[in-house]
């Protein structure tokens, strides 16, 4: 006989069918993002780390939207709970979907996003060690309001009572039900059918299983999570904000531990999947969102927002820039007040200055557009200089056209480049030009009215002799 009993398969069930009434939202509660990631995905990620035999998400309220969110995820199945008659009823719906008749079900709530996979491993270990039929994660809270309370007798759990159904004395209990459990497969579903709905909400409460197990002499264990913050549930916008703050705080701590300077972590908003290299300095009010990746030794000044973009090493982004779906190579300088719209790519050492907007535009290495420009659907060659106020006229009211500016070209200030048009390598465009035709490489294009000076015009007008 081995000392270690064979490990039974783990089946994860995630409850995500509830109405989320307290959110007052047209969006399903479980899809509200925390630091950029939908709430439900936190539970899914924790589940995946258990390497379960199956993952089943119970959907119901706005099931189509939640199912669409889960579509195409390998190994994740859904079961529809209709109508939504409570957490016990929700779990019962998974019976036909569970592929095997043995193993351990780990039950997660989609609205408890901070739970770590370490805690789930600890739950499973405690469950196996106790030889329990059911194990409940509990936590000790200073403010247990809203949670189910753990009622013990002689130290052993005897039942769980919901806030609304508890006596004043029971509501004093500070040990709460995290809503996360491990259940051995037999006898789970049979016992679930024994749950009634005689409570203030007329729902089938999953926590009632504890009392049912006790009556049937099935062993129930508890495991108390050391970090009570992990089991915070999200039921309202206020809790969403609070738990989001905890997620961000955790992310900020990880980045600082990895060598990133956050001047003021409390006002720095970094989504969970963002990566930042060491020795990068991030000033207050910076938002880094989605799949953004920032290199090493960058400096991001106050009020910058970067979405789904990649920045190389040693990039400086000055105050109040917005960068979306763009790529910025090493040693570039951007801003202040620059707008890099989707499809922008800056080559190494390029410079984009104040009040410059770029869309679907590539700037070669060392190219510059330092002041007050709009460059759309354009390609700017290496070390070209785009003068202040240069505008690409890329849209003719029907379709978009391309502008090509060659290597080392010099576009004088306040030029308009009417696309489609090509400025050749090393060419010059005189300031104030309206360029409507291609400029050959190495030539100068002047496209503006010639200046005429009328000498003595002012004194002639004063003398009443007319201004002509
Ligand atoms: C639940 C527990 C409570 C525990 C708390 C921890 C019950 C009755 N109470 O309360 O003891 O302290 O979680 O956060 O279980 N859901 C369904 N179908 C339904 C109803 C709910 O899938 O019919 C899902 C919800 O989408 C949610 C989860 O179950 O993800 C919990 O439901 P919720 O209504 O938020 O329960 P709580 O009142 O928070
Ligand atoms: Ca809840």
Residue 196 is given by DSSP the state -
Q: Which residue's CA lies nearest to atom 1 of ligand 1?
A: 179
First-to-last alpha carbon distance for the chain, in angstroms, is 114
Q: Which residue's CA lies nearest to atom 7 of ligand 1?
A: 205
Tokens matching residue 223: 């495991």
Ligand nearest to the CA of 18: 1
Check if the beta carbon of residue 109 is closer than 8 Å to that of residue 46. Answer: no
pLDDT tops 70 at residue 279: yes
| Active-site residue, 371 included | yes
Domain 10-231 sits in CATH at: 3.90.550.10
pLDDT tops 70 at residue 400: yes
pLDDT tops 80 at residue 467: no
Encode pLDDT of 112-159 as tens digits: 999 999 999 999 999 999 999 999 999 999 999 999 999 999 999 999
Tokens matching residue 277: 């290299």
Q: Which residue's CA lies nearest to atom 8 of ligand 1?
A: 205
Residue 204 is given by DSSP the state -
Burial status of residue 273 (CB atoms within 10 A of its CB: 0-12, 13-18, 19 or more) = middle
For the CA of 235, the closest atom of ligand 1 is: 35
Ligand 1 surroundings by CB, under 6 angstroms: 15-18, 58, 60, 81, 84-87, 89-90, 109-112, 147-148, 160, 162, 176-179, 205-207, 233, 235
Same CATH fold, 237-445 and 10-231?
no
Residue 3's pLDDT is 52
Tokens matching residue 185: 């497969």
87: CA distance to ligand 1 center in Å?
6
Find the mean pLDDT for residues 280-302: 99
For the CA of 206, the closest atom of ligand 1 is: 15
Q: Which of 121, 301, 371, 401 is flagged as catalytic?
A: 371
Domain map of the chain by residue range? 10-231, 237-445
CA distance 458 to 1: 113
Residue 466's pLDDT is 59
pLDDT tops 90 at residue 209: yes
**Class of the 237-445 domain?**
mainly beta
Find the mean pLDDT for residues 193-213: 95
Q: Quick check: helix, strand or coil at residue 71?
A: coil
Q: Which residue's CA lies nearest to atom 16 of ligand 1?
A: 18
């Amino acid at each position: 006989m081995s000392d270690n009993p064979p490990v039974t398969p783990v089946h994860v069930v995630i409850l995500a069918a509830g109405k989320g009434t307290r959110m007052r939202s047209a969006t399903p509660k479980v899809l509200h993002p925390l630091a950029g990631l939908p709430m439900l995905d936190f539970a899914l990620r924790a589940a995946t780390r258990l390497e379960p035999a199956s993952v089943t998400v119970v959907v119901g309220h706005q099931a189509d939207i939640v199912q669409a969110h889960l579509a195409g995820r390998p190994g994740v199945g859904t079961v529809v709970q209709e109508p939504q008659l409570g957490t016990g009823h929700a779990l019962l719906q998974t019976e036909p979907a569970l592929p095997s008749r043995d193993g351990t079900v780990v039950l997660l709530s989609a609205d408890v996003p901070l739970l770590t996979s370490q805690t789930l491993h600890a739950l499973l270990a405690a469950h196996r060690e106790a030889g329990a039929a059911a194990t409940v994660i509990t936590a000790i809270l200073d403010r247990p309001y809203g949670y189910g309370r753990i009622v013990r007798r002689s130290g052993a759990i005897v039942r769980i009572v919901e806030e609304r159904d508890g006596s004043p004395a029971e509501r004093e209990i500070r040990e709460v039900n995290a809503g996360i459990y491990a259940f051995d497969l037999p006898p789970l579903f049979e016992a679930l059918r024994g749950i009634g709905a005689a409570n203030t909400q007329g729902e089938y409460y999953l926590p009632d299983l504890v009392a049912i197990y006790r009556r049937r002499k099935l062993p129930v264990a508890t495991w108390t999570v050391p970090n009570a913050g992990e089991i915070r549930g999200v039921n309202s916008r206020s809790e969403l904000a609070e738990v989001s703050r905890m997620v961000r705080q955790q992310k900020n701590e990880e980045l600082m531990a990895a060598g990133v300077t956050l001047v003021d972590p409390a006002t720095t908003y970094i989504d969970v999947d963002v990566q930042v290299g060491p020795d990068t300095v991030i000033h207050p009010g910076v938002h880094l969102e989605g799949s953004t990746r920032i290199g090493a030794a960058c400096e991001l000044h106050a009020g910058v927002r970067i979405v789904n973009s990649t920045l190389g090493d040693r990039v400086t982004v000055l105050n109040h820039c917005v960068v979306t779906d763009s790529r910025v190579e090493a040693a570039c300088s951007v801003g202040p007040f620059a707008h890099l719209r989707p499809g922008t790519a800056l080559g190494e050492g390029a410079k984009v200055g104040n009040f410059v907007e770029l869309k679907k535009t590539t700037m070669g290495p060392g190219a510059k557009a330092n002041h007050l420009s709009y460059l759309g659907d354009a390609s700017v060659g290496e070390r070209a200089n785009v003068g202040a106020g240069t505008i690409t006229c890329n849209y003719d009211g029907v379709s978009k056209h391309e502008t090509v500016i060659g290597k080392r070209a010099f576009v004088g200030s306040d030029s308009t480049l009417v696309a489609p048009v090509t400025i050749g390598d090393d060419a010059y465009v005189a300031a104030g030009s309206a360029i409507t035709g291609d400029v050959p490489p190495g030539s100068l294009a002047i496209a503006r009215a010639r200046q005429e000076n009328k000498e003595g015009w002012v004194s002639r007008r004063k003398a009443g002799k007319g201004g002509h």
